[in-house]
Amino acid sequence: MDHLTAFYVERYGPWAQDWNWSVGEGDADGGVVGSWCCGAHSVTTPDETASRAVAALLEWRGWLEELADRFARLAPPPQAGPEERSWHLERAAVRLVTRIVDLTGGESGWYGTCDLALEWFLTSTGMELRAARAAVAEAIDGRFESWVRPGTTLIDAVGEDLAVGLTGHPPYRDHREHSDLEERHDRW
């Protein structure tokens, strides 16, 4: 599929690189694309193969657009103090991890998508990539595994660890202070 990836990237740009990052074990496992598995299962007749490849590219693009929208909605406000920033970071991490688990089913390598999405989120808030990568690695610290859907407690712990690691403050002291924000975040 390297030739198709090269074509997509040349034609549409670098965002198309991971068009076949499939759910479960595929050409590139652990992703969110359900339209494509791997050459052995997805390549059939020329028309069917082309249809699957286009569907996979569109699915990948849709995922990137969904992430961009989520990042914008979940990002801490620029003027947020450390506690409020911590709260936003924790909520964003919990929502992003939960969404990725839902899309991947917690199958093979799903946590790679999780790492990348969290890193992208942090860089979208202005953090340097190297620092984002380190923060995500420290927060997750090997707690996610292939073929294991993490429970709510683990996802919450990762979100809190990420937030505290980045701000030095717990996400919030009084949950009621943030009820309007909590309601807004719960929609995403």
| Mean of per-residue pLDDT scores for the chain | 91
The two tokens of residue 176 are 């009621």
What is the model's pLDDT at position 173? 55
- The yes-or-no verdict on residue 184 having pLDDT over 60 is no
Asked if residue 28 lies in contact with residue 22, where contact means CB atoms within 8 angstroms, the answer is yes
Short-list 107, 119, 97, CA closest to 34: 107
Short-list 61, 63, 21, 62, CA closest to 42: 21
Q: How far apart are CA 145 and CA 61, in angstroms?
A: 26
**61: how many CB neighbours lie within 10 A of its CB?**
14
pLDDT tens for each residue of 107-121: 999 999 999 999 999
pLDDT tens for each residue of 9-49: 999 999 999 999 999 888 788 999 999 988 888 889 999 99
SS3 21: strand
Q: What percent of the chain has pLDDT over 70?
A: 91
Residue 29 per-residue DSSP state = E
pLDDT tens for each residue of 76-95: 999 999 999 999 999 999 99
Higher confidence at residue 32 or residue 181? 32
Q: How far apart are CA 159 and CA 185, in angstroms?
A: 14
149: left (phi > 0), else alpha (psi -120 to 50), else beta?
beta
